Amino acid sequence: MIKKVWKQWWAWDFDKEEAWYNEMAAKGYNLSYIRPFQYYFQTGTPGEYIYRQELLDHLPSHPESESYIQFMEETGAELVCTYQRWAIFRRKAEDGAFDLFSDLDSRLKHLKRVGALLLSLTLMEFAIGLNNISLSFAADSPLNFWCGLICLLLGICLLSGSRRVWKMSRKIAKERNIRE
């Protein structure tokens, strides 16, 4: 049986999203695929899989990403699905612990990828928002003004998320320095 769940998530909450996949798996719902705001789960054995997700360096169709996905599959992980540059892997729980990041440096590298994505989206939203607002005054268009305002608000939200990822990165960098 397929269970469809409508849910919105933010890129900076990738760790909470991953925990949610694992909570659903513990209840016997195994992730099948994702569409915007829609998650599809197949019923199965509770706790059968452990899920992990990662923001890839490139789109999944890029040769480097394909090579990485193949490597992950050779280690016993299964690619469940991809969404944009996000890849969601799972492995049978009976095979033991499953972590995509074996050390602090790889975890830090992942956080930097997420941070760079968020920063570029933030800058884009601010640029579009300011452009629309300036166009609204030039063309006397309330629609441009409101669209610009929405983009600026989204940019502020993304900036807040970027800050969360930056704090996570700082915490891991400090931990790495302590261990060295």
**Local confidence pLDDT in tens for the 180 residues of the chain:** 889 999 988 889 999 999 999 999 999 999 999 998 999 999 999 999 999 999 999 999 999 999 999 999 999 999 999 999 999 999 999 999 999 998 899 999 999 999 999 999 999 999 999 999 999 888 888 899 999 999 999 999 999 999 999 999 999 999 888 876
Whether residue 7 is found in the same domain as residue 89: yes
Whether residue 73 is found in the same domain as residue 137: no
Distances, alpha carbon 110 to alpha carbons 41, 92, 138, in Å = 26, 23, 42
Whether residue 161 is found in the same domain as residue 113: yes
The DSSP secondary structure of 78-116, one letter per residue, reads EEEEEETTEEEEEEEGGG----S--SHHHHHHHHHHHHH
The pLDDT, as a whole number, for residue 5 is 94
Whether residue 82 is found in the same domain as residue 8: yes
Whether residue 151 is found in the same domain as residue 89: no
Whether residue 63 is found in the same domain as residue 17: yes
State how many domains the chain has: 2
Distances, alpha carbon 15 to alpha carbons 43, 61, 135, in Å = 23, 24, 39
Nearest CA among 116, 109, 63, 52 for reference residue 86: 52
Whether residue 9 is found in the same domain as residue 91: yes
Whether residue 85 is found in the same domain as residue 144: no
The pLDDT, as a whole number, for residue 150 is 96
* Collapsed DSSP state (helix, strand, coil) of residue 44: coil
Final residue of a domain: which of 95, 119, 146? 95
Query: Which residues are CB-neighbours of 152 under 8 A, at least 6 positions away?
Result: 125, 126, 129, 130, 133
Final residue of a domain: which of 95, 122, 138? 95
Give the rounded distance of the alpha carbon of 131 from its chain centre: 28
The pLDDT, as a whole number, for residue 18 is 95
The DSSP secondary structure of 46-79, one letter per residue, reads TT-EEEEEEE-SS-TTSHHHHHHHHHHHHTT-EE
Whether residue 15 is found in the same domain as residue 87: yes
Final residue of a domain: which of 74, 95, 116? 95
The encoded tokens of residue 123 equal: 């800058």
| Structural domain harbouring 133 | 104-179
